[in-house]
């Protein structure tokens, strides 16, 4: 192995360096976790606007209630409460193509589709082409539609307004609007831009690499999962959920005996 | 199942509620991820001092270079780069009794040992008793000593100074100092308070439940892991590390042929 | 790093060696997965009796229906069906102190308690001492009791009979019976030896290191999880389970709108 | 939720049913873990030939030495030795598009490409079409080539010979040979059928659903990982690997101090 290098962190007997800065002297007490995330992933400090957008996106994705991800974490805690890292990991593992992953998928889709010049005309054409190509492959267009928020996802207008307010509404958020239009034109049915899609576009606009967006979402979701596990420790639902499901799944004529009976 | 409840989050067709607040209207653009973490875990908003300490602790634990956790994440990415959630999960799974877990272990140890009254005399006695009990059981005292930072962990004085500056230096951080003294008295050899131990004590002092501290550490570490995976995508070390280790492990007389030969 | 060695496997351009044997010539087509497991973990080939017991134990632990482990795997699949390794991992992560882990915990408990001589008198005394010690520490005695099988766990007599039939009923299975007696004497209430406890004892009796028993259980459980995920792909329950739980968890007066409404 | 059903397993106070059979009476002591795996996944009992092939495939995939998967498991164990389920999970999470996953990818590729009739002419045409399509999309043809076994993967001829001997050499194994020919014709360079590809084809030929093949591989790999963790407990390499890598990654002029110095 010729070389092993990492810019991210290192330490000596009396110093710790993270992101090229002295950890205790230059980072602790000075920057937020959000700042450090931006710094570690992009190797630049965020501007005030980038910081506010990144926080808004992370806050928007931290939790959505008793999702499959939260339930998997709680059920894992039921069996192994002493290894909370396993319960958090189980919750993160459901971040895939169906749930949680779409923010990253939209980011990659938009970054690939983005034209060289960012004027409205070129963005419009790029959106039309990209939608056509996805539809030709029988694939869904990422970033659009939501099973619950059928008319409008309440996170989307808020993210666009914040981006505009902070002067960081860039080509990916703009392209996503053209994509929604192109999809409506092609199908005759308008789907709202969902919160995950707007989040993915916003992260690329503030400088997060598109391929790192799925990862960034996981930081926020870890915060939500830790809250779920704190709640599960106090007011557990895993064990009773198990016994209810088991008794409902019992074959006719031979009901399972649950532990509470 | 009589009841399923969660305070954490819920949604309707046109609203999303997180932590009892309207997500787009009251949280996005207003609070940081650190604020939301505090709010979700404690169900209270942090004061300015609590927020600054929480950020300082999370920043102090986000990354320490090419640790076993970062290496496990990178090697997992080598085999499954399309499933970044798996690589992050692999990195978190190494947060146990040896690495990353000690912050939470110290938090639980101190919360258990804390006396009813927090004057110096009672803290001193509680520390002496707790150290004696651990030693009697043949167990290490958590929060003390570090393989690299043998004289002083540079994070520790910084955390104590920040806590004092913000007026949140509470009984757990104070108790930890008495624990270090009691350990030195009992063994004749002073070990420094390590950064993980000080971090765990500080989190309990600002109101994080001791049993949630290990989880809180994972939020910070997820940020570090996402940075490592961003770097691994650009400058991979996993594949060459594998081939080097495999060739070094080859039995005498029958060397493995690595893919680069 | 002075040395890296592994006995387990290696390869050259035209050969693959596993467990010191030529993989295609000596293992494939000759041994079962169970044989190879025994060989890899103990570095010896199993006798016919050891093989039959190991298979019986693995078969007894492969699946128990819609457990928290199976549910966590299915809910993870709901979000990330393209990364089945993540769903299997999520299912395994619930193997802890409460569920799935007790086989390994019983194995370690028995191995620690086992006296030097294995006659009935010494086993009886060791069992009494070990039960007393656990009770003195306020801990449960592992291997006893079951929430569903309150009178007798049907796996237990079968495992004992098989071990006797094969001549491998050893000191750990015998000690576990004395432990059940000692617990009944101490509490006045007899708890049945559970299937996990008998499984753990049997594995140590046939030569599996006690600390590897929890791992061995995971091999069997992986088979069960793959079956659950095959079924989930055909007849999914994850998505509808989510929507039901979410709607039941809705706060009064503000019901969530599920995607099917 | 209208219905929750699972065929896989259920229990009552005095019985446990797995795969529609009485667990203690009909499975324990009677079938191997491999038999049960086949039964659970396909809902049929294997023939003698199917059983032998399934065992041969699982044995062929259980371990390949100090792979990224084994290293990730060992490094996770370094940090959390008390939670072995986490170390196994970390090892499995590297089963993706690059490593371990190719058996399943080949299975799905062949099942999709398989023509209605299985005579040589149709298989040849299907292979040519499938190879052309993959190459047209800029994708690799799965199942071919190996970084170490560049001329022949020693597992491949063994699997074909066993399948022939047992009379279960079916259309997918045959199709894979035509695929190798078509690839050689198209590129002028013959790549050997790799062991993972032959394994995937063989599993579909004996009746495992193509989409369950990646899962089946994980069962075998769990056995290998448990062996690695047993070895890591006895002769650890994780900690020294960490310290070596950290010291090699040290920035020039500021070497890290490792814990052994």
Query: What percent of chain B has pLDDT above 70?
Result: 95
Residue bearing tokens 């059983």: D51
pLDDT reading at A261 higher than 80: no
The minimal CB distance from D9 to the residues C10, C63, C243 is found for: C63
Would you say A247 and A256 are in contact if contact means Cβ atoms under 8 Å apart? yes
Angstrom distance (rounded) from CA D140 to CA D156: 19
Give every strand in the sheet of B9-12, ordered side by side.
B9-12, B15-18, B21-22
Q: SS3 for A22?
A: strand
Identify from C81, C85, C93, C243 which residue to disrupt to test chain B contact, counting B C-beta atoms within 10 A and taking the largest count. Answer: C85
Q: What's chain A's Rg over C-alpha atoms? A: 22
How crowded is residue A257: how many other Cβ atoms within 10 Å of its Cβ?
18
Residues D83, B93: Cα–Cα separation, whole Å:
9
Q: From chain B, pick out residues whose CB is under 8 angstroms from the CB of A16.
A: 64, 154-155
How would residue B247 be classed by pLDDT, with cut points 50, 70 and 90?
Answer: confident
Q: Environment class of residue B225 by beta-carbon count within 10 Å: exposed (0-12), middle (13-18) or buried (19+)?
A: buried
Q: Model confidence over A114-138: pLDDT tens digits?
A: 999 999 999 999 999 999 999 998 9
Among C124, A259, A43, smallest CA distance to B230 is for: A43
Q: What is the pLDDT of residue C1?
A: 47
Answer yes or no: are the C-beta atoms of B207 and B152 closer than 8 Å: no
Tens digit of each residue's pLDDT (9 = 90 or more) over B194-209: 999 999 999 999 999 9
Note the pLDDT of residue C260.
30
Neighbouring residues of D233: CB distance < 8 A, sequence distance ≥ 6: C211, C212, D77, D81
Q: Considering only CB atoms, which chain B residues are within 8 Å of D72?
A: 71-72, 75-76, 90
**Contact across the interface for D96 and B79, Cβ inside 8 Å:** yes
Q: For residue C218, what are the contacts with CB-CB under 8 A and spacing of at least 6?
A: C92, C95, C100, D84, D85, D88, D222, D226
pLDDT bin (cut points 50, 70, 90) of residue A2 is low
Q: For residue C137, with 0-12 CB atoms within 10 Å meaning exposed, 13-18 middle and 19 or more buried, which class applies?
A: exposed
Token pair 């570490």 in the structure block, residue: B221
- CB < 8 Å to B222, chain A: 92, 218-219, 222
Nearest residue on chain B to C6, judged by CA atoms?
B249
pTM score, two decimals? 0.95
* For residue D86, pLDDT beyond 60: yes
**C85's tokens:** 């390794």
Q: Which residues of chain D have a CB within 8 Å of the CB of B68?
A: 75-76, 78-79, 238-239, 241-242
d(CA C4, CA A210): 38
- DSSP annotation of A212 reads G
CB < 8 Å to C33, chain D: 32-34, 55, 58-59, 62, 219-220, 223
Residue D248: its chain A contacts at CB < 8 A?
3-4
The band of B2, judged by pLDDT with boundaries at 50, 70 and 90, is: low
For A230-248, what is the mean pLDDT? 93
Sign of the alpha-carbon torsion through A157, A158, A161, A167? negative
Sole residue written with tokens 């054409």: A125
What pLDDT, in 10s, does the model give residues C21-64?
999 999 999 999 999 999 999 999 999 999 999 999 999 999 99
Q: What is the pLDDT of residue D40?
A: 97
Q: Provide CB contacts within 8 A for A211, sequence distance 6+.
A: A104, A107, A108, B230, B233
How far A108 CA sits from the closest chain B CA (Å)? 12
Q: For chain A, say whether C103 makes contact (Cβ under 8 Å).
A: no
Residue D249's DSSP bridge partners are none
Interface test with D, best of C52, C61, C62 (most D CBs within 10 A): C62
Enumerate residues 140 to 159 of chain C having a beta carbon within 8 A of any beta carbon in chain A.
147-148
The neighbours of chain A, by the rule of 3 or more Cβ pairs under 8 Å, are B, C, D
- Kindly report the nearest CA distance between residue B181 and chain D, in angstroms: 24
Q: At what angle do helices A171-187 and A155-165 cross, to 10 degrees?
A: 140
Partner-chain residue, chosen from A4, A83, A254, that has the shortest CB–CB distance to D12 = A254
Residue A86 in tokens: 């396993």
Average pLDDT over residues B4-27: 93
Q: Closest partner residue to A93 among B63, B85, B158, by Cβ?
A: B85
Q: Is the dihedral of CA C132, C138, C139, C141 positive or negative?
A: positive
Of C10, C33, C151, nearest to D58 by CB-CB distance is C33
- Choose among D78, D94, D147: nearest Cβ to B79: D94
pLDDT score at C147: 84
The pair of structure tokens assigned to D75 is 């490094």
Give the Cα-Cα-Cα angle B182, B183, B184 (nearest 5 degrees).
90
Q: Return phi, psi of residue C107, to 5°.
A: -60, -45
D10 φ/ψ sector (left φ>0, alpha ψ -120 to 50, else beta): beta
- Average pLDDT, rounded, for chain A: 93
pLDDT on residue B147: 84
For residue D1 the two structure tokens come to 């939720």
Q: Does C4 touch chain A (CB under 8 A)?
A: no
Exposed / middle / buried, residue B142 (Cβ in 10 Å: 0-12, 13-18, 19+): buried
**Poorest-confidence range of A220-229, B246-255, C245-254, D76-85?**
B246-255
Element (H, E) at B239: helix B238-248
- Number of neighbours of residue A234 by Cβ within 10 angstroms: 9
Confidence at B261, pLDDT banded by 50, 70, 90: very low
Q: What is the pLDDT of residue A107?
A: 98
Residue of A81, A215, A234 best to disrupt the B interface, most CBs of B under 10 A? A215
Averaged pLDDT of chain C: 93
CA distance B244 to B249: 9
Token code pair at residue B98: 């040896």
Q: What is d(CA D228, CA D74) in angstroms, rounded to the nearest whole number?
A: 7
Q: Would residue A155 be called left, alpha or beta, if left means φ above 0 and alpha means ψ between -120 and 50 degrees?
A: alpha
**Candidates D4, D11, D82; nearest CB to A245:** D4
Helix axes A102-113, A213-234, angle to 10 degrees: 170
* Mutual angle of helices C48-61 and C195-205, in 10-degree steps: 150
Report whether B79 contacts D96 (CB < 8 A). yes
Distances (CA, A) of C92 to A101, B230, C73, C224, D88: 22, 27, 8, 10, 8
Average pLDDT of the residues of chain D: 93
Q: Nearest CA to CA, how far is C65 from chain D (Å)? A: 4
> D6 touching A, CB under 8 A?
yes
pLDDT in tens, D212-257: 999 999 999 999 999 999 999 999 999 999 989 988 886 544 434 3
Q: Where are the beta strands (DSSP E) in chain B?
A: 9-12, 15-18, 21-22
* Cβ-Cβ contacts under 8 Å, D59 against chain C: 18, 23, 27-28, 31-33, 36
How many residue pairs from chains B and C have C-beta atoms closer than 8 A?
A: 55
Distance CA(A8)–CA(A18), nearest Å, equals: 6
Contact A255 D12 (CB under 8 A): yes
Q: Running DSSP on this structure, what letter comes out for residue C96?
A: B
Rounded to whole angstroms, how far apart are CA atoms C126 and C118?
10
For an interface test with D, give the residue of A15, A77, A83 to mutate (most D CBs within 10 A): A83
At D182-214, the pLDDT tens digits run 999 999 999 999 999 999 999 999 999 999 999
| Cβ-based burial of D261 (10 A; exposed 0-12, middle 13-18, buried ≥19) | exposed
Rounded to an integer, what distance in angstroms lies between the CA atom of residue B165 and that of residue B173? 14
Q: Which of B94, B42, B59, B96 is nearest to B204 (CA)?
A: B42
Please choose, from the candidates C94, C64, C63, B2, the residue with its C-alpha nearest in 3D space to the C-alpha of residue D12.
Answer: C64
Q: Which of C67, B89, D218 is nearest to A93 (CA)?
A: B89
3-state SS, residue B64: coil
Contact present, A88 and A73 (Cβ < 8 Å): yes
Q: What confidence tens digit (pLDDT) does each residue in C198-257 have?
A: 999 999 999 999 999 999 999 999 999 999 999 999 999 999 999 899 888 865 444 343
| Average pLDDT in chain B | 93
Interface test with B, best of C81, C249, C257 (most B CBs within 10 A): C249
Total beta-carbon pairs less than 8 A apart between chain A and chain B? 299
* Cβ under 8 Å to B: C residues 14-73: 17
Q: What is the mean pLDDT of residues A86-99?
A: 96
Q: Which of A66, A152, A214 sits opposite B14 (nearest CB)?
A: A152
Q: Residue B3: CB partners within 8 Å, gap ≥ 6? A: none
Grouping H, G, I as helix, E, B as strand and the rest as coil, residue B18 is strand
Partner A, chain D 178-197, Cβ-Cβ below 8 Å: none
Contact D258 B93 (CB under 8 A): no
Q: Which two tokens stand for residue A195?
A: 């919160």
- Name every residue whose Cβ is closer than 8 Å to that of residue B55 and which is 6 or more positions away in sequence: A29, A31, A32, A33, B32, B34
- What ipTM score was computed for the predicted complex, to two decimals? 0.94
Give the chain D residue nearest B69 (alpha carbons): D76
Helix then strand then coil, in percent of chain B rounded to 5, is 60, 5, 35
Q: Can you give the pLDDT at residue B255? A: 38
Q: Could you report the per-residue pLDDT of A37-63, keeping only the tens digit for each?
A: 999 999 999 999 999 999 999 999 999
**In this complex, do C157 and D24 lie within 8 Å of one another by their Cβ atoms?**
yes
Interface test with A, best of D1, D2, D12 (most A CBs within 10 A): D12
């Amino acid at each position: 192995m010729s070389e092993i290098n990492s810019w991210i962190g290192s330490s000596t007997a009396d110093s710790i360096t993270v992101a090229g800065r002295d950890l205790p002297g230059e980072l602790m007490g000075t920057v937020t976790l959000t700042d450090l995330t931006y710094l570690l992933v992009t190797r630049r400090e965020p501007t005030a606007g980038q910081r506010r957008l990144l926080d808004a996106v992370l806050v928007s994705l931290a939790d959505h209630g008793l999702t499959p991800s939260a339930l998997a974490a709680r059920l894992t805690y039921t069996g192994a409460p002493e290894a909370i890292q396993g319960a958090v990991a189980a919750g993160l593992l459901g971040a895939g193509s169906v749930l949680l992953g779409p923010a990253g998928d939209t980011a990659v889709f938009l970054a690939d589709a983005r034209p060289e010049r960012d004027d409205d005309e070129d963005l419009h054409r790029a959106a039309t082409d990209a939608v056509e190509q996805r539809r030709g492959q029988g694939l869904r267009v990422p970033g659009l539609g939501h099973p619950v928020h059928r008319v409008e996802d309440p996170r989307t207008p808020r993210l666009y307004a914040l981006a505009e307010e902070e002067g960081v509404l860039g080509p990916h958020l703009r392209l996503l609007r053209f994509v929604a239009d192109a999809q409506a034109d092609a199908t005759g049915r308008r789907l709202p831009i969902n919160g995950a899609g707007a989040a993915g576009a916003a992260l690329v606009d503030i400088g997060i690499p598109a391929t790192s967006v799925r990862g960034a979402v996981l930081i926020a979701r870890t915060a939500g999962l830790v809250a779920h596990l704190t709640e599960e420790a106090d007011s557990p639902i895993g064990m009773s959920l198990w016994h209810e499901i088991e008794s409902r799944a019992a074959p006719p004529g031979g009901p399972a005996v649950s532990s509470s009976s």
